[in-house]
Amino acid sequence: MSKKYSVAILGATGAVGTEILALLEERNFPLDNLKVLASERSTGKSVMFAGKELTIEAVNATSFDGVDIVLASAGGSISKQWLPIAAKAGAVSIDNSSAFRMHPDVPLVVPEVNPEAAKHHQGIIANPNCTTILMAVAIYPLHQVQPIQRIVVSTYQSASGAGARAMEEVQLQAQAILKGEPAIAEVLPYPLAFNLFTHNSPMTANSYCEEEMKMVNETHKIFGDRQIRITATCVRVPVLRAHSEAINLEFAHPFSPDKAREILKSSAGVHLVEDFDKNYFPMPIDASGKDDVLVGRIRQDISHENGLELWICGDQIRKGAALNAVQIAELLIAESIL
């Protein structure tokens, strides 16, 4: 009989926590016991899992006793407070926040790219930023064939990246605007319906926002190559779910679009979507609810003989967050590295 595991979801009521619950059921994760944890204000509420009602518990110092895996998506401050306690209790935590991503002793893992990094965990594994995950899955197969020298990426990020409340806010704003009423922004800094703005994360000293620097620093760590030159521009767009990215890659030598297509067709986690005659390429509406990163519009950069252009879309809540975390948990089990 296959071994089963005790799992705790920390942040079970949020958009990502809800998706994790759905994925554990959908993928028949080998569960022995499932705890759903959240803050005290959610205590007593319930969530559905596999046809059963699970009562949410307030996280406390004994919540992780007997737990094998913690899937955390409750924010950086919560992760910093509780995941070291979970590690002392013998659990391995997979953290969706930015709290530990750049910590030198914490692996930052995308299973399709650097699964071997998970072996070096010390009780905590970090889930990368959503935009980084989607880009890494799409471009790493090309990097393996010919190392990438430079990445220029522009992101078009949906409301889902700011959580369930932001998604609801955009819908309410759209309804208000269509009625001729003012759009109220409370979750996001500005109205997003029928609008867009540069990413709402704080600016850093170099005039890049934190989201842009996450893409730079995390890609270096995941690829294990800090020589790649990377620049990013991140934008919030009025899409409910699924992020898009325009990616320009520079290599030492030409990389033909046809060769790139052949590589990506057989790459894990990637689905090629291209119809040049119909001008049909990946769209957020098609990527929503899908596991794979949709890749298309692969073309020669006409401004640089060694340049290659790609357009990608991926579900931010799914592969950009919840699915990647669950895949890491499955990797820990498959490789016996809990």
Choosing from 130, 209, 234, 313, which is the catalytic residue?
130
For the question of residue 130 being annotated catalytic, the response is: yes
Quick one: which H or E segment has residue 331?
helix 323-334
List the alpha helices (DSSP H) in 3-102: 15-26, 76-88
Is the torsion defined by CA of 103, 104, 109, 112 positive or negative? Answer: positive
Q: How far apart are CA 123 and CA 5, in angstroms?
A: 16
Q: Are 217 and 102 in contact (CB under 8 A)?
A: yes
> What count of other Cβ atoms lies within 10 Å of the Cβ of residue 79?
25
Q: How far apart are CA 173 and CA 171, in angstroms?
A: 5
The closest of 293, 270, 268 to 283, measured between CA atoms, is: 293
**Any catalytic annotation for residue 243?**
yes
Q: Which of 121, 143, 243, 271 is catalytic?
A: 243
Say what angle helices 323-334 and 15-26 make with each other, to 10 degrees: 50
Are 269 and 112 contacting, i.e. CB atoms less than 8 angstroms apart?
yes
Burial group, residue 52, by CB count within 10 angstroms (0-12, 13-18, 19+): exposed
Q: E strands along 61-147, which residues?
A: 69-72, 92-95, 124-126
Residues labelled as active-site residues: 130, 243
